[in-house]
Structure 1
């Protein structure tokens, strides 16, 4: 693998260099599809909850049977995350990577914590009676949530679906190792391959530290996204498609284990074959996007859908469930459901416009200024570097700032919502 030819720039099948940079609107649309699947799962597909007047199964019938599969929205988004993180940080250094992740994730997350906590706090009896919502019981738990590391500390999340943020964060930390050395075809290919091997080896070792780092349950999904981005950027090769096949085989086995787990946990009767039709169809669309077959799908509304996904994920569960319980009996369920989904989409759009758009650039500016180590901070004595008393030192080049650090292509920041999730208590385990 390491001796394979290393492309230096994207090429078409004819060998002609091509530039595939630019926002991929189809991925934005897929993000929203994954998010809506999770929303539908939480509002309709969880029979153990008491959101509506009767059990979800009795209220929605066949829609309930389909909504059970909404848990796959998590896996779908992990695939997209692997793809877009590669695309967003290619030709960027570690500082840029860190700044982009912090500014993308935290502003809306901090606001969502405050809003969700307030809604649950003032509707506590309704929230706890829903069977879905669990609220932090102490101020300490609430404060830990602002770090996004509450899952690592066994502290309850303000909203149970936030557990996927920790899975995403661990992926970023692992991928940051490659970013620190500089992303190249060989390095990313080696990273994906070694991670795939590590996921297989550590899956049944039951070593907590390795589980936290390697994430054997979720690794195949992230890796699928990474490999498909390499195909998008450098073109198809037998090696890349072979690794995609291996990752897919591991992913389908995990889907089987997840289906069995959810059948037992939820008391439903999902079929692995139908789950794979849904997941496989989604993956085929991502592959078609990687190959450039969906370049024609460049409608503006898809981009808008993409930026709404992260706020939708953060806000939909607790606020939505409490609102449904407040309105049940006043509006028929089949009418209230689309009203709630539309309302959550509007709320998500407002979150993007009023929080992400104005505050993320300001936070990015502050972080970059605080991390600008190129500005000398000391006074150089007379005679050194030809300066006099009080003359600042002349900046010098540091390792890694010249030569190969020049960018071939402008960076593309198609950062996603990062994750979408299902309730923490229903996390699939390993077989």
Structure 2
């Protein structure tokens, strides 16, 4: 779990540069302006005041970047992961900075420009919020960190109460509150709220969270508020230097407008500087630079009459950059990892304590309510949509991104199949782990199966420890293999030492999920989720395998599954079918839950005509199966004939699948010794069947067959986890 929490996402070169530019501005503001002005450390460098006096805008950059990045990295996270991630990153280096702020005035008696503080004050400062306890800050720059901590608490509340689907309403309320201050020049909380909110809105524009007019209306209001903040900052600088009119508020507003313009370019992907080693290092040293730059005033004073002022200012800048990099490598990285592990361990202990104290209460509650047998059902209430943060009939590309953390207690896979014009069929699946190893750590692999018209087969199993996946859209990498797309177009690449395989495919229909796509099993939070990203698409396949090079087109399908409980604990078996008949695309899913959930079938259906969905209401679907025969693999019962009938209003159709042979029969646990051991210990003996045969679709006009289609080469599957029923 800790490894997942600590794994860094892809860095933005643009945001890293903005961070460093902001911290650079803070450095010059302190060393060539504010502190230098008060203490006259190097008076010659006050000549930069006409430019540096606008340095307060650097804080607006800091807060806006934080609003953007924290929203980006938390919008799909749970509360535990969010707080462990954020706190483990900001506290270790901050504690080291507090130690330096406490010791430095005692070790160097003068020209540190820091006051000696009591040990109690030092301890309170370690919380990062001494002002809450009415203690002074031992380092004057810490006030911005308190603002950051409050922002984390705000995001934590959003996550805890699942309010991301109402975030625009919350932002609007915050803006109304800030507007209530009017044109007052008082430096109030709006100076902190508005830039954070602006950063959040810029990211929501980036992911097209809602209708543009809503987002840009709110963004326009934040811009107006920021212009007023420009007036406030200008007035604040005038008061600091006791020189009315020193800072031109119009210039301050121009600087803010420029910053706003840069962020807008980032949000619409017009400013996207590629991350390099240089930008990454500059971004990484920004936080340690900010925390520690103030401790070098003694050096600044000591060499003030020994080194030319400009050279001293620039030389000290590079010295602090080097120290910041050393602190990042030797302190920030290892101690952040250590704290993350400690917080994870503490969270686990607290969770166990909570479960321990609640278990008795839950047991009594269950008995008091005389609970009925748990059931399995497709989540489709308005509350379900709100909790899952999905929109009815509006699938979004993030839903095809990674939906789990890949750790223990989860599984996930991205499935693709295509029927090619040469008669072959291809199935590709990217797994975070084997579906039988849900309680194990991430162990990613990809599989490739090519079934040729002559009955021969080509297979590959491609495991790798090198795994990454985006939560914003489908972008999965396993070793040298990748699967990526945005619901409209996709690319898949597979390779090994003796073959390479490439697919490009495009969606011809709207992405779809049955209701929320979330099947709940009982009341313990167990679920199986299904998202059909590409109900029907066109594929172009190019591959090279030993003795064969192929370029061919075909039709295709892609879906995405994930869950948090071993499937054999939730599902007894299922039949799944995808078929194409003339203008029709038919997807049927017939699930029989495990015994613990009553074996009551859950049906899901998708029917489209000419690329337009015409039916997906499962309550109108009925499934009939012939008396089964027993398969050799696992002694599982298979129905040779399956009939799906759908009748809703004027629409009536039936799909008849007739099995002729099995393309694949395989156990879900491949190693025989391990399989027999698990079967003996738990009774699990799961098997998978990929079936081909004849399919007939009949569409009715009242009781008469209006259209009839037949396909002698259809494919469907039977996944059998449980004991025969």
The reply on whether 1:357 has 2:333 as its aligned counterpart is yes
* Alpha-carbon distance in structure 2 between the residues aligned to 1:35 and 1:198: 29
Deviation at 1:323, TM superposition (A): 1.2
Alignment match, 2:408: none
Mapped contact 1:150–1:156 kept (Cα < 8 A): yes
**Equivalent in 390, 404, 413 of residue 388 of structure 2:** 404
Deviations along 1:135-177, one digit per CA (max 9) or x if unpaired, are 2431111111111111222322221111111111112212221
SS of residue in 1 equivalent to 2:281 = helix
Would you tell me which structure has more helix in proportion to its own residues? Answer: 1
Mapped contact 2:13–2:279 kept (Cα < 8 A): yes
**Equivalent in 237, 241, 247 of residue 222 of structure 2:** 247
**Equivalent in 189, 201, 215 of residue 227 of structure 1:** 201
* Alpha-carbon distance in structure 1 between the residues aligned to 2:312 and 2:40: 12
Deviation at 1:28, TM superposition (A): 0.9
* Alpha-carbon distance in structure 2 between the residues aligned to 1:253 and 1:374: 46
Unaligned segments of structure 1, at least 5 residues: 1-20, 128-132, 206-210, 385-398, 414-431
**Equivalent in 81, 97, 101 of residue 96 of structure 1:** 81
Compute the RMSD of aligned alpha carbons.
Answer: 3.2
Deviations along 1:187-211, one digit per CA (max 9) or x if unpaired, are 2212211111122236799xxxxx7
Alignment match, 1:345: 321
* Alpha-carbon distance in structure 1 between the residues aligned to 2:50 and 2:63: 24
SS of residue in 2 equivalent to 1:274 = helix
Deviation at 1:79, TM superposition (A): 1.1
* Alpha-carbon distance in structure 2 between the residues aligned to 1:295 and 1:48: 38
The reply on whether 1:260 has 2:232 as its aligned counterpart is no
Mapped contact 1:34–1:76 kept (Cα < 8 A): yes
Alignment match, 1:304: 281
Pair 1:118–1:203, CA change in 2 (3 A): farther
* Alpha-carbon distance in structure 2 between the residues aligned to 1:371 and 1:295: 37
Pair 1:290–1:147, CA change in 2 (3 A): same
Alignment match, 1:41: 29
Pair 1:94–1:136, CA change in 2 (3 A): farther
Alignment match, 2:59: 74
Mapped contact 2:33–2:46 kept (Cα < 8 A): no
The reply on whether 1:139 has 2:128 as its aligned counterpart is no
- Within-5 A mapping of 1:13-162: 22-46=10-34, 48-53=37-42, 55=43, 58-61=44-47, 63-127=48-112, 133-162=113-142
Deviation at 1:96, TM superposition (A): 1.3
* Alpha-carbon distance in structure 1 between the residues aligned to 2:176 and 2:389: 30
- Within-5 A mapping of 1:330-341: 330-341=306-317
Whichever of the two has the greater Rg, that structure is 2
* Alpha-carbon distance in structure 1 between the residues aligned to 2:96 and 2:17: 25
SS of residue in 1 equivalent to 2:136 = coil
* Alpha-carbon distance in structure 2 between the residues aligned to 1:51 and 1:108: 30
**Equivalent in 238, 251, 272 of residue 274 of structure 1:** 251
Deviations along 1:29-61, one digit per CA (max 9) or x if unpaired, are 1011111111110000126322434x3xx5442
The TM-score with structure 2 as length reference comes to 0.46
* Alpha-carbon distance in structure 2 between the residues aligned to 1:51 and 1:347: 25
The TM-score with structure 1 as length reference comes to 0.76
Unaligned segments of structure 2, at least 5 residues: 1-8, 364-382, 391-397, 406-469, 472-725
* Alpha-carbon distance in structure 1 between the residues aligned to 2:389 and 2:170: 20
Deviations along 1:375-431, one digit per CA (max 9) or x if unpaired, are 5658x99xx9xxxxxxxxxxxxxx99xx83998445889xxxxxxxxxxxxxxxxxx
- Could you tell which deviates more after superposition, 262-271 or 360-369? 262-271
When the two structures are aligned, how many residues end up with a matched partner?
A: 361
Deviation at 1:343, TM superposition (A): 0.8
Deviations along 1:295-339, one digit per CA (max 9) or x if unpaired, are 34332311211111111110011x121210122111111110001
SS of residue in 1 equivalent to 2:180 = helix
Would you tell me which structure has more strand in proportion to its own residues? Answer: 2
Pair 1:93–1:301, CA change in 2 (3 A): same
* Alpha-carbon distance in structure 1 between the residues aligned to 2:207 and 2:329: 31
- Could you tell which deviates more after superposition, 365-374 or 352-361? 365-374
Deviation at 1:285, TM superposition (A): 1.4
Alignment match, 1:10: none
* Alpha-carbon distance in structure 2 between the residues aligned to 1:170 and 1:190: 19
**Equivalent in 163, 174, 179 of residue 154 of structure 2:** 174
Alignment match, 1:191: 170
* Alpha-carbon distance in structure 2 between the residues aligned to 1:113 and 1:342: 23
- Could you tell which deviates more after superposition, 292-301 or 136-145? 292-301
Deviation at 1:97, TM superposition (A): 1.5
Mapped contact 2:111–2:297 kept (Cα < 8 A): no
Alignment match, 2:145: 165
* Alpha-carbon distance in structure 2 between the residues aligned to 1:220 and 1:180: 22
Mapped contact 1:192–1:226 kept (Cα < 8 A): no
Pair 1:200–1:136, CA change in 2 (3 A): farther
Mapped contact 2:17–2:283 kept (Cα < 8 A): yes
* Alpha-carbon distance in structure 2 between the residues aligned to 1:85 and 1:134: 32
SS of residue in 2 equivalent to 1:168 = helix
4+ runs deviating over 4 angstroms: 202-205, 373-378, 410-413
* Alpha-carbon distance in structure 2 between the residues aligned to 1:247 and 1:325: 41
